[in-house]
Homo-oligomer: A and B are copies of this chain.
């Protein structure tokens, strides 16, 4: 008996939509896959704002990577490693993890996604958290819920109370619109009559957008519909607003070059504006001399590989990719989950072609449409229908469609069941069942206040008898 030849090694970095789709597509292909992620779960990011707004729990919209891919692990094809990739050695064809382990590859798929970008103002990050990971969502949940609590604590100072009851959301893309709409619902319905000193319905939700309209990626008529729905929910929309400053007291912005700067006193600011590629883009540039675009994304070849390195594929939000439809000019692929999934699938298929010594194919993005919801019973949708072109709709039907699509694409039968049940419960009761913050108040640094009374009572730890 002779030892069989070792299988080609495929390493996938990142287990978002792109990474997991690549791993699944390679099931059955004679390769040895290693999947590396910094966390132990795959996350359904489109519903992350519902975890942040206490409507869903973290496990409902995520799943352990090992559980999702258990069949490929059991049949010996796939290894999952929890680790942080810190280096790529394109010459030696291996990647390095933070603890020094090196993982060699024959084919590499980098799918490490994107993070927040504060347009050069990283100091805003502490005051205006963004929403990309489960940890982000739980942090925002704490900020939102404790803001109402801290408003209730402000017995004396009306201005301080108001600034705790003012919520600014920066950026009116789908995430910003969904956050603002849900926040308005929470203030007006869920928390109504649960406080004595404040009226939660007097909370202000202000949505700031630099462009002239909300949901800029949607057709103008749907932006208008979304705007009307936000108005109906009581969200104050400020378009054409350029944010100039954020600190723990609020936001300053300008609506036009010659306009005066406006100040919004808001103790809670949510960042839903800028997206930057994962820092692995810079590492890829160092390792392969590839080009990056302004957002730090890797400019890839038509087949999603890095120039000069047909064994390195970049997919998802890290890739500045173009769609190559036959007979048309290449167009940029939008940074949405169907794009990442299609790229992951395409990179895996190209690896299979290379294993069979076939030429790789250029990536062609199929746009099925876009969806965004704005509170209960309202959404906007575009759907691309072959031959008919783009259908646009809004209102209750768009909302039901949104609901169906999101439940359908969730991974796991159990998650689908739970999310449907949670939504039904929330719809009829107006309650948001995940309104529990594990951490005590002391973990919210910007909420710490000094003793303001003339005669402070001796704190417990200063007790001499203790």
CB of A145 within 8 A of chain B?
Answer: yes
In the bound complex, CA of A431 to CA of B63 (Å): 12
CB pair B153–A81 under 8 Å, yes or no, is yes
CB of A457 within 8 A of CB of B76, answer no
Q: Does A466 contact B (CB under 8 A)?
A: yes
Looking at A190-198, A212-220, A306-314, the stretch in contact with chain B turns out to be A190-198
Binds B, one of A67-75, A247-255, A348-356: A67-75
Given contacts A70-B193, A76-B196, A99-B452, contact A458 B286 (CB under 8 A): yes
Q: Which one of A64, A73, A456 has the highest number of Cβ atoms from chain B below 10 Å of its Cβ?
A: A64
**In the assembled complex, A405 has its CB within 8 A of some CB on chain B:** no
Taking A99-B449, A196-B73, A465-B282 as contacts, is the C-beta distance between A149 and B436 under 8 angstroms?
no
Tell me if A199 is interfacial: C-beta within 8 Å of chain B: no
- Residues of chain A from 177 to 206 with CB closer than 8 A to chain B in the complex: 191, 193-197
Q: Which residues of B contact A440 (CB under 8 A)?
A: 38-39, 84, 133, 135
CB interface residues, A 147-172, toward B, < 8 Å: 149-150, 152-153, 155
Pick the contact of A100 from B133, B195, B441, B449 — CB < 8 Å?
B449
Tell me the count of chain A residues lying within 8 A, CB to CB, of chain B.
Answer: 90
Among B94, B283, B434, the residue within 8 A (CB) of A460 is B283
Kindly list chain B residues whose C-beta atoms are within 8 Å of the C-beta of A425: 414
- The yes or no answer to A79 lying at the interface (CB within 8 A) is yes
- A89-B457, A96-B453 known, 9 other contacts, Cβ within 8 Å: A40-B146, A58-B438, A66-B194, A79-B197, A82-B146, A86-B459, A88-B457, A135-B440, A285-B465
- 11 A-B pairs with CB atoms under 8 Å apart are A39-B440, A39-B441, A40-B149, A58-B436, A76-B196, A81-B153, A83-B441, A86-B460, A98-B459, A100-B452, A101-B453
A interface, CB within 8 angstroms of B:
38-41, 57-59, 62-64, 66-67, 70, 73-74, 76, 78-84, 86-89, 94-102, 133-135, 137-138, 145-146, 149-150, 152-153, 155, 191, 193-197, 279-280, 282-283, 285-286, 414, 425, 431, 433-443, 448-453, 456-461, 463-466
